[in-house]
């Protein structure tokens, strides 16, 4: 019996030791769990802070005219027959890089997508009038690049098919991200573009009727089908075939000609004009009573009127109007030497509106020709010089001249009205218009201004002697 009790005691001691060991293990494990819990909570707090920042930085904008493109790759099931699938996917990644370059060329933004679907949008984040045309241009370039890409890989037996659907309309855009903005697009326009892509076949570019309204003059197209849309009815769809004969550089309509490029650039000019006039309105000094936005608009209008009368080409008219738009932009910084500053501003801004280096150089030459005394060489330089001083031969000469006097007096460049009239008489006596159009329209009136100024000067003299 005694031996049995000893055995029981030994067993109990052993169990106690095992329980103590287990308890220690549990305590250690508990410490580990507490530490894991602390780390998880810290991670949750970081994620919550990040979410709060994202929500705080999130902007929602609405764009009345934007163009959405959906594109999807078909044929991935065929990869099963290809021996080196990974290499093929790597090759496909190279095409995506080519596509990204095309999108950047036309200022088109990629948006998050799922799977093999590509979603891009034009007309954001900077509004523009050209996004429907540029989206079709991008689609043509992407399809051509994709055909060349597959020709190099497979010859004539292509593996994939790229179907494209395009629709133009209003969208809502959620913009997030600090270092790199991310665009999330919503709205019926997005849904319709997706549905158009779903009915596209055989690598076709299919656009909606609303997109066609913007691009019809420039491209060849044919009716494709009708798409039933809830609350809208049947939406007519069209297949893009290429450039129209008027704007094509070849008989097949594959590439655009110079006429198309100029026409597109003239549409881009409208966006540039809106941008620059807003900039001038905000940034020109308030003491510029003459060299203000009204003067810039006046010179643009007169440049176009004289230019058309002188028979300039569409591209020359584009260069002329652009130069007129920028010719006094340097006044934002200072009046003295503002022509050179205007050139600098033009060189900074024009590339973002797709002007070529050659065009920019010509525009800058035209701007510099407005420097007094004017010494224009080319016809375009003569036109802008005449447009810049068009007021000299207008009926409102005295009124306009007085705003320039007020501006110069505030800068202490002239000190009295008498001095100003004397300067004006001397300037008008030496001035000459350079174009036949301006001479016909303004030269006679300009001569009468000299007589008007002499009378005003005589009045001032009489008043002085009376006093």
**pLDDT for 56-88, tens place per residue?**
566 889 999 999 999 988 875 555 555 566 777
Q: What is the mean pLDDT of residues 343-362?
A: 96
Among residues 335, 325, 341, 344, the alpha carbon closest in space to that of 280 is found at 325
Residues 128 and 163 grouped into a single domain: yes
Q: Is residue 35 assigned to a domain?
A: no
Residues 250 and 330 grouped into a single domain: no
Residues 169 and 250 grouped into a single domain: yes
Residues 342 and 412 grouped into a single domain: no
Q: What is the mean pLDDT of residues 253-261?
A: 92
Mean pLDDT score of the chain, rounded to an integer?
88
What is the number of alpha carbons within 13 Å of residue 352 lying toward its C-beta? Answer: 11
29 contacts: CB under 8 Å, gap ≥ 6: none
Give the CATH number, domain containing residue 157: 3.30.70.1230
Residues 414 and 316 grouped into a single domain: no
pLDDT for 364: 98
Residues 348 and 398 grouped into a single domain: no
Cα 450 to chain centroid distance, Å, stands at: 47
Portion of the chain with pLDDT greater than 70, in percent: 92
**Helices H, strands E: what count in the chain?**
14, 8
Q: What token pair was written down for 239?
A: 């297949």
- Scan for tokens 């016909």, then name that residue: 440
d(C-alpha 291, C-alpha 391), whole Å: 13
pLDDT tens column, 282-293:
999 999 999 999
Please state which of the ranges 176-185, 255-264, 387-396 shows the lowest mean pLDDT.
176-185
361 contacts: CB under 8 Å, gap ≥ 6: none
Q: What is the mean pLDDT of residues 426-444?
A: 91
215 contacts: CB under 8 Å, gap ≥ 6: 132, 133, 136, 207
Whether residue 384 has pLDDT greater than 60:
yes
- Scan for tokens 């009716």, then name that residue: 223
pLDDT for 139: 97
pLDDT for 86: 74
d(C-alpha 244, C-alpha 249), whole Å: 10
Whether residue 4 has pLDDT greater than 70:
no
Whether residue 279 has pLDDT greater than 90:
yes
Cα angle vertex 47, ends 46, 53, to 5°?
A: 90
| Terminal Cα distance for the chain, rounded | 147
Give the domain-ending residue among 349, 378, 407.
378
CB-CB neighbours of 53 under 10 Å: 12
Q: What is the mean pLDDT of residues 369-377?
A: 94
Please state which of the ranges 81-90, 177-186, 309-318, 361-370 shows the lowest mean pLDDT.
81-90
pTM, whole model, 2 decimals? 0.80
Q: Is residue 286 assigned to a domain?
A: yes
pLDDT tens column, 126-164:
899 999 999 999 999 999 999 999 898 888 888 888 999
pLDDT band at 25 (very low <50, low <70, confident <90, very high): confident
Length of the chain: 467
pLDDT for 5: 59
Whether residue 306 has pLDDT greater than 50:
yes
Give the domain-ending residue among 224, 256, 288.
256
Residues 139 and 244 grouped into a single domain: yes
Domain tally, the chain = 3
Higher-scoring residue by pLDDT: 1, 363: 363
Residues 215 and 181 grouped into a single domain: yes
Q: What token pair was written down for 182?
A: 């991310």
Q: Which residues of 417-446 are buried (b: 16+ CB within 10 A; e: fewer)?
A: eeebbbebbeebeebebbbebbeebbeeeb
Q: What is the mean pLDDT of residues 31-40?
A: 77
Residues 135 and 237 grouped into a single domain: yes
Give the domain-ending residue among 230, 256, 282.
256
Range of the domain at 357: 257-378
Q: What is the mean pLDDT of residues 316-334?
A: 97
Q: Is residue 29 assigned to a domain?
A: no
pLDDT band at 398 (very low <50, low <70, confident <90, very high): confident
Q: Is the dihedral of CA 385, 388, 390, 392 positive or negative?
A: negative
Residues 293 and 363 grouped into a single domain: yes
Q: Is 185 helix (H, G, I), strand (E, B) or coil?
A: strand
Residues 205 and 228 grouped into a single domain: yes
């Amino acid at each position: 019996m005694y031996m049995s009790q000893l055995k029981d005691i030994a067993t109990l001691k052993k169990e106690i030791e095992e329980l103590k060991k287990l308890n220690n293990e549990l305590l250690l494990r508990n410490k580990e769990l507490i530490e894991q819990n602390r780390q998880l909570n810290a991670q949750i707090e970081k994620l919550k802070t990040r979410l709060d920042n994202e929500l705080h930085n999130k902007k929602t904008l609405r764009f009345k005219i934007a163009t959405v493109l959906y594109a999807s790759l078909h044929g991935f099931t065929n990869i099963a027959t290809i021996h080196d699938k990974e290499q093929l996917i790597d090759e496909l990644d190279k095409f995506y890089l080519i596509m990204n370059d095309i999108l950047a060329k036309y200022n088109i933004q990629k948006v998050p997508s799922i799977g093999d679907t590509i979603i891009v949008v034009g007309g954001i984040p900077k509004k523009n009038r050209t996004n429907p045309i540029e989206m079709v241009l991008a689609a043509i370039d992407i399809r051509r690049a994709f055909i060349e890409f597959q020709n190099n890989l497979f010859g004539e037996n292509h593996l994939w098919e790229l179907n494209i659907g395009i629709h133009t309309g209003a969208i809502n855009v959620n913009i997030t991200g600090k270092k790199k903005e991310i665009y999330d697009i919503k709205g019926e326009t997005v849904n319709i573009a997706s549905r158009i892509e779903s009915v596209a076949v055989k690598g076709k570019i299919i656009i909606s009727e609303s997109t066609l309204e913007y691009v019809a003059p420039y491209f060849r197209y044919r009716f494709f089908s009708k798409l039933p849309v809830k609350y809208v009815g049947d939406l007519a769809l069209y297949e893009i075939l290429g450039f129209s004969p008027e704007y094509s550089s070849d008989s097949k309509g594959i590439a655009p000609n110079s006429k198309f490029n100029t026409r597109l650039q003239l549409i881009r000019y409208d966006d540039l004009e809106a941008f620059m006039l807003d900039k001038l309105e905000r940034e020109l000094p308030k003491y510029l009573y003459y060299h203000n936005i009204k003067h810039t608009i006046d010179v643009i209008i007169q440049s176009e009127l004289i230019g058309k009368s002188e028979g300039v080409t569409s591209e020359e008219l584009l260069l002329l109007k652009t130069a007129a738009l920028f010719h006094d932009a340097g006044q934002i910084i200072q009046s003295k030497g503002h022509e050179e500053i205007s050139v600098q501003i033009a060189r900074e801004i024009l590339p973002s509106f797709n002007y070529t280096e050659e065009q920019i150089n010509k525009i800058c030459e035209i701007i510099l020709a407005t420097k007094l005394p004017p010494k224009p060489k080319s016809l375009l330089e003569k036109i802008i010089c005449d447009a810049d001083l068009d007021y000299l031969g207008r009926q409102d000469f005295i009124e306009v001249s007085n705003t320039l006097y007020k501006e110069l007096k505030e800068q202490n460049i002239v000190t009295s009205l008498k001095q100003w009239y004397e300067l004006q008489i001397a300037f008008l006596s030496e001035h000459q218009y350079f174009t036949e159009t301006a001479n016909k329209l303004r030269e006679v009136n300009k001569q009468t201004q000299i007589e008007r100024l002499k009378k005003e000067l005589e009045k001032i003299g009489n008043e002085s002697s009376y006093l």
